[in-house]
Chain A
Amino acid sequence: VRVLILTSLFVVLIGFVVLYFINSSYSIPQVKISQINKDMTGKYVQIIGKVVRSYYKDGNIFLEVKDKSNSSISVFIYKNVAFYLPQKTFTGKTVLVTGIIQEYKDDLELVLKKPSDIKVLE
């Protein structure tokens, strides 16, 4: 029994470390907004674009980001994440956004998980 316990503990710890490093070394694909479609729901992507509209309501931040492909997508920053951001409005800024593609009321949007998922480039 002791051997089984130690083996399963070993598998768990090694599994933990391996998965953590695979996840850390995985580079999230950078895509054009025009490439984003419903089949990508649930996946992480990165986009670079200009914030054409931004508003702050009930602690949540809503952005509309447009990129060089001339397509735009909504970016939703939940209040738990928005709370830790030093700025609440982004209109006119070029941003690098990392988020999960989600479907909301028949539209696709990008949802941020943590504050470092949005970087102001200029």
Chain B
Amino acid sequence: MIELLAYTVMGMLIGICLGLVPGMNINNLIPIFLSLSAFIDSTKLAVLVVSIAIAEILSNYIPSIFLGAPESDESLCVLPAHRMLLEGRGMEALKLILLSSLISFIFSLTLILIFSQYFIKLYDLTRPYIHYAILWTVIFLVLYGNTAKNAIKTALIFLLSGFWGLLVLNLRFLPSDKVMFPLLSGLFGLSTLLISLKEKSHLPQQSKDEKIKISKKKLLIGIVSGSIFGIVAGFLPAIGVSQTAIISQAFTGLTETRAFLVLVSSIVIANEIFSLSSLYLVSNPRSGASVALQKLVPNFDSNMFYLVIGSFAISFGFAAIVVWFISKVIYKKLVKIDYEKVNIFVILLLSFLVFVFTGISGLFVFFVSGALGFLTASIGVRRSTCMAVLLLPSFLFFSGLEPLILNAISL
């Protein structure tokens, strides 16, 4: 028991460090954890992975807010949080995100535990119609909030990313599970770092008043709807947090900066918990961490689920406190650090890791994916559109068209 607790604390610390480095996430380390399973008990590694995953989500809000360098899931938090930072309200943004995440954790976990049996039935019932849901989501994402010109640009990026994903995921010389690392790190990690390098932003002085300025009603609506949307999105393959946030924003009308932050951070947490529970309920991993868990513990039963949720909760609670306090220290240090050097270091580190795990072909995928992510952001299209790398192949798979298309384009 004490050993498991030690792994939870260790995971929390690793996760916090990982989240602080732009472009790094748990997916980058999964091959290492899997190789460690030969030496360390799988249950301990599972606890470590879950603790890292949640602590990383929370600590990644620091570079998201202060550097404008988010993970893909949190990319939609950047604009409102960064806007608050420029107004000197960065610490309030972080406080709001941590509070929403905490309440959403309790609310979404309760929902999942109460309705888990219905989820299994709903999952089986919806399987034959998933491609329709993916199609409607894509149409919505292309059209919603876009001018005609932007909708065309979004559609083009969607197709470009979609066919890039189809090609990369069907490479004959690189297994599809290995290629995810260079693909997603390139699209969301490398491109973010390149944008940061291009923009050369500086950190403004922050207000000492950190009081949250949002009505209780909006906070509650944001958390409840964010948690529900986060769980519902869990049923749809390849539909991520960013796409869910755009759809839920349209439904709830929560467009105001603070309310939107509450909405997105609640979706992130609900989605992560659902990913873990879907592994237990329907043996279907939905996040990098849950894929690792499935490989570490092939028989993921109820005992394992509760153990994992327990570690998740402990890591979450401590990480929230640690993140809050270190954000104050880091903020003061960040003013003195040269961001450009940090970004270049992370680009080199990511390139090295990609090369080690996937070789020269993986490195090629990494750089081209980075260019695609950079292109998307540069022409004013939401970078979450690049999730078409998974959406299009998923749509083709669930609609039964994949074999026909692969034959037609000789892949």
Contacts and interface: CB of A to CB of B under 8 A. Distances in A.
Contacts of B164: 12, 16
B400 interface: yes
Contacts of B364: 15, 18-19
20 contacts: A1-B378, A5-B375, A5-B379, A8-B378, A12-B368, A15-B364, A19-B365, A19-B368, A20-B167, A23-B173, A26-B172, A42-B177, A42-B178, A84-B407, A113-B406, A114-B402, A114-B403, A114-B406, A115-B403, A115-B407
A79 B401 CA distance: 11
Contacts, number: 83
Q: What secondary structure prevails in chain A residues at the interface with B? A: helix
Interface of B: 160, 163-164, 167-168, 170-173, 175-178, 198, 361, 364-365, 367-368, 371-372, 374-375, 378-379, 397, 400, 402-404, 406-407, 410-411
Nearest to A78: B403
A52 interface: no
A91 interface: no
B371 A23 contact: no
Q: List 7 tightest A-B contacts by C-beta distance, closest first.
A: A42-B175, A15-B368, A11-B371, A8-B375, A114-B403, A114-B406, A8-B371
Interface string A4-27: 110111011001101110111010
A12 B365 CA distance: 10
B374 A8 contact: yes
A3 B345 CA distance: 25
A37 B375 CA distance: 41
Contact of B175 (A18, A43, A80): A43
A12 B371 contact: yes
A8 B160 CA distance: 13
A84 B404 contact: yes
Interface of A: 1, 4-5, 7-9, 11-12, 15-16, 18-20, 22-24, 26, 28, 41-44, 79-81, 83-84, 100, 113-116
Q: What secondary structure prevails in chain B residues at the interface with A? A: helix
Nearest to A16: B164
Nearest to A1: B378
Contacts of B402: 80, 113-114
- With most chain B CB atoms within 10 A of its CB, the pick from A79, A80, A113 is A80
A24 to B, nearest CB: 6
B343 to A, nearest CB: 16
Contacts of A8: 371-372, 374-375, 378
A42 B406 contact: no
A114 B402 CA distance: 8
Contacts of A5: 375, 378-379
A87 to B, nearest CB: 15
B400 to A, nearest CB: 4
Given A4-B378, A113-B406, A23 B368 contact: no
Contacts of A12: 160, 164, 368, 371-372, 375
A61 to B, nearest CB: 13
B168 A19 contact: yes
Contact of B403 (A22, A41, A80): A80
Contacts of B410: 24
Contacts of B198: 4
A15 B164 CA distance: 9
B83 to A, nearest CB: 21
A22 B365 CA distance: 12
Given A8-B375, A26-B172, A42-B175, A16 B400 contact: no
Given A5-B378, A12-B375, A24-B410, A81 B403 contact: yes
A42 B176 contact: yes
Nearest to B157: A12
A26 B374 contact: no
Contacts of B172: 23, 26, 28, 44
Contacts of B171: 19, 23
Contacts of B168: 19
Nearest to B177: A42
Contacts of B368: 11-12, 15-16, 19
